[in-house]
Protein backbone atom coordinates (compact mmCIF):
# COMPACT_ATOMS: atom_id res chain seq x y z
CA UNK A 1 0.00 0.00 0.00
CA UNK A 2 1.14 3.54 -0.68
CA UNK A 3 0.24 4.83 2.75
CA UNK A 4 -1.22 3.88 6.05
CA UNK A 5 -4.57 5.66 5.71
CA UNK A 6 -7.12 5.34 2.95
CA UNK A 7 -6.47 9.03 2.25
CA UNK A 8 -2.80 8.28 1.57
CA UNK A 9 -3.52 5.06 -0.33
CA UNK A 10 -5.70 6.80 -2.90
CA UNK A 11 -3.37 9.77 -3.42
CA UNK A 12 -4.44 12.36 -0.87
CA UNK A 13 -6.16 15.64 -1.64
CA UNK A 14 -5.61 15.39 -5.40
CA UNK A 15 -7.73 12.22 -5.50
CA UNK A 16 -10.61 13.75 -3.55
CA UNK A 17 -10.49 16.93 -5.63
CA UNK A 18 -10.82 14.86 -8.80
CA UNK A 19 -13.58 12.68 -7.36
CA UNK A 20 -15.64 15.62 -6.14
CA UNK A 21 -15.09 17.69 -9.27
CA UNK A 22 -16.35 14.81 -11.42
CA UNK A 23 -19.34 14.41 -9.11
CA UNK A 24 -20.29 18.08 -9.31
CA UNK A 25 -20.07 18.04 -13.10
CA UNK A 26 -23.09 15.73 -12.94
CA UNK A 27 -24.87 17.72 -10.24
CA UNK A 28 -24.49 20.93 -12.27
CA UNK A 29 -26.88 19.61 -14.93
CA UNK A 30 -29.17 17.52 -12.74
CA UNK A 31 -32.72 18.91 -12.67
CA UNK A 32 -33.45 17.38 -9.25
CA UNK A 33 -30.19 18.03 -7.41
CA UNK A 34 -29.03 21.37 -8.84
CA UNK A 35 -31.85 23.38 -7.18
CA UNK A 36 -30.57 22.17 -3.78
CA UNK A 37 -27.54 24.40 -4.34
CA UNK A 38 -28.84 27.98 -4.32
CA UNK A 39 -25.48 29.57 -5.18
CA UNK A 40 -24.69 29.93 -8.87
CA UNK A 41 -21.13 28.83 -8.12
CA UNK A 42 -20.84 25.20 -7.00
CA UNK A 43 -17.20 25.79 -6.02
CA UNK A 44 -17.84 26.35 -2.30
CA UNK A 45 -19.97 23.18 -2.06
CA UNK A 46 -17.29 21.29 -3.96
CA UNK A 47 -14.62 22.51 -1.55
CA UNK A 48 -16.70 21.53 1.50
CA UNK A 49 -17.20 18.00 0.17
CA UNK A 50 -13.49 17.64 -0.57
CA UNK A 51 -12.62 18.75 2.97
CA UNK A 52 -15.24 16.45 4.48
CA UNK A 53 -14.14 13.37 2.54
CA UNK A 54 -10.44 13.91 3.08
CA UNK A 55 -11.02 14.32 6.82
CA UNK A 56 -13.26 11.23 6.98
CA UNK A 57 -10.63 9.11 5.22
CA UNK A 58 -7.69 10.15 7.40
CA UNK A 59 -6.49 13.39 5.85
CA UNK A 60 -6.35 16.89 7.35
CA UNK A 61 -9.04 17.96 9.81
CA UNK A 62 -9.71 21.20 7.93
CA UNK A 63 -13.43 20.51 7.64
CA UNK A 64 -13.96 20.39 11.41
CA UNK A 65 -11.58 23.28 12.00
CA UNK A 66 -13.60 25.49 9.64
CA UNK A 67 -17.13 24.15 10.04
CA UNK A 68 -17.30 22.19 13.29
CA UNK A 69 -18.59 18.65 13.62
CA UNK A 70 -19.89 17.31 10.28
CA UNK A 71 -23.42 16.47 11.58
CA UNK A 72 -24.42 15.18 8.14
CA UNK A 73 -28.08 14.49 8.90
CA UNK A 74 -28.54 17.89 10.53
CA UNK A 75 -26.77 19.74 7.71
CA UNK A 76 -29.01 18.03 5.11
CA UNK A 77 -32.24 18.38 7.10
CA UNK A 78 -33.34 21.44 5.15
CA UNK A 79 -33.22 19.55 1.86
CA UNK A 80 -35.76 17.09 0.55
CA UNK A 81 -33.67 13.91 0.36
CA UNK A 82 -36.06 11.40 -1.18
CA UNK A 83 -35.17 8.00 -2.63
CA UNK A 84 -35.17 9.66 -6.07
CA UNK A 85 -32.74 12.38 -4.90
CA UNK A 86 -30.55 9.71 -3.28
CA UNK A 87 -30.52 7.72 -6.50
CA UNK A 88 -29.53 10.79 -8.53
CA UNK A 89 -26.76 11.56 -6.04
CA UNK A 90 -25.49 7.98 -6.15
CA UNK A 91 -25.60 7.90 -9.96
CA UNK A 92 -23.39 10.99 -10.23
CA UNK A 93 -21.09 9.67 -7.52
CA UNK A 94 -20.81 6.32 -9.32
CA UNK A 95 -19.65 8.11 -12.47
CA UNK A 96 -17.14 10.07 -10.38
CA UNK A 97 -15.82 6.98 -8.59
CA UNK A 98 -15.51 5.06 -11.85
CA UNK A 99 -13.60 7.96 -13.43
CA UNK A 100 -10.92 7.70 -10.75
CA UNK A 101 -9.78 4.21 -11.76
CA UNK A 102 -9.15 2.96 -8.23
CA UNK A 103 -7.94 -0.56 -7.45
CA UNK A 104 -10.89 -2.85 -6.62
CA UNK A 105 -10.42 -2.86 -2.84
CA UNK A 106 -10.27 0.93 -2.56
CA UNK A 107 -13.13 1.36 -5.05
CA UNK A 108 -15.41 -0.98 -3.08
CA UNK A 109 -14.38 0.50 0.27
CA UNK A 110 -15.17 4.01 -0.96
CA UNK A 111 -18.41 2.96 -2.64
CA UNK A 112 -19.63 1.11 0.45
CA UNK A 113 -19.21 4.27 2.52
CA UNK A 114 -20.82 6.56 -0.07
CA UNK A 115 -23.80 4.25 -0.46
CA UNK A 116 -24.32 3.98 3.31
CA UNK A 117 -23.98 7.75 3.72
CA UNK A 118 -26.54 8.40 0.99
CA UNK A 119 -28.98 5.93 2.57
CA UNK A 120 -28.58 7.57 5.97
CA UNK A 121 -29.56 11.00 4.66
CA UNK A 122 -33.02 9.99 3.46
CA UNK A 123 -35.54 12.23 5.20
CA UNK A 124 -38.69 11.90 3.07
CA UNK A 125 -40.39 9.46 0.77
CA UNK A 126 -42.22 12.23 -1.07
CA UNK A 127 -40.97 13.22 -4.50
pTM, entire model? 0.89
Smallest CA-to-CA distance from 10 within 91, 85, 106 is with 106
pLDDT tens string, the chain, 127 residues long: the values are 455 899 999 999 999 999 999 999 999 999 999 999 888 899 999 999 999 999 999 999 998 887 776 565 455 556 788 999 999 999 999 999 999 999 999 999 999 999 999 999 988 888 7
Number of domains in the chain: 1
The range of the structural domain enclosing residue 48 comes to 8-120
CB-side neighbour CA atoms (13 Å) of 60: 11
In a domain, 47, yes or no: yes
Residue 60 lies in a domain: yes
- Four-point Cα dihedral 105, 109, 111, 114, nearest 10: -170
* Total residue length of the chain: 127
Q: Is residue 93 part of a domain?
A: yes
Domain at 58, CATH number: 1.10.490.10
Residue 50 within a domain: yes
Residue 125 lies in a domain: no
Q: Which of 24, 48, 23 is nearest to 99 (CA)?
A: 23
Q: What is the pLDDT of residues 45-61, one digit of tens each?
A: 999 999 999 999 999 99
Amino acid sequence: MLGTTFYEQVGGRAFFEKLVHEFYKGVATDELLRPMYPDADLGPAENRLVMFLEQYWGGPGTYSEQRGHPRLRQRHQGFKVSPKARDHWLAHMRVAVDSCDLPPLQRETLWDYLDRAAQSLLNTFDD
